[in-house]
Amino acid sequence: MDSPFSFLEKVSPEPNNLIKGLQLIQSAEGYVSDDAIRAASAHFGVPAAEIEGVLTFYAQFKRVKPGKFKIAVCDGTACHIKGAPQVHEWLRQEIGLVPGETDKDGLFSLETVACLGCCSLAPVMSVNGKVHAKLDRKSLKKILREYAGK
């Protein structure tokens, strides 16, 4: 039976290709699991502890499986001034998440991004890439209900 990480065979197994391999894993899986670390360790001949060090050093890598709906709250200057911290607080109250977390049902995950490029529509967030603008608490609750199917 093929390994779920057989796509690593496309990358030459030299240790200097580790980051490229981890990027492939994350692209395919949405995060880097413990199983993926073991597969990368075997493929590149690098100890798992060293791979874990790379994953924690680079902010691009995620170790938590993302939710079905990935919420990204913009915290660029315009959004910050117009309420991004408040949007985070509402999300914490409504779905119990802070940036970097996924809810226990695997429905929502939350992250903060530097800019979504919608400054005139601040504050904004995206859900799986779809932008929701000029957020207030009422619109945020409605958006969450729609994605949760409630």
Confidence of residue 69 (pLDDT cuts 50, 70, 90): very high
Q: Is residue 1 over pLDDT 60?
A: no
Q: Which residue, among 130, 97, 95, has the nearest Cα to 112 in the 3D structure? A: 97
149 CB-near residues (< 8 Å, 6+ apart): none
Q: Is residue 79 over pLDDT 50?
A: yes
- What local confidence, expressed as pLDDT, does residue 53 receive? 96
Q: Give the model confidence (pLDDT) of 29-49 as tens digits.
A: 989 999 999 999 999 999 999
Q: Give the model confidence (pLDDT) of 82-126 as tens digits.
A: 999 999 999 999 999 999 899 999 999 999 999 999 999 999 999
Q: What are the residue ranges spanned by the domains of the chain? A: 6-57, 69-148
73 CB-near residues (< 8 Å, 6+ apart): 79, 84, 87, 88, 91, 99, 110, 111, 112, 113, 123, 125
Q: Are 78 and 119 in contact (CB under 8 A)?
A: yes
What fold does the segment set 69-148 form as a domain? Glutaredoxin (3.40.30)
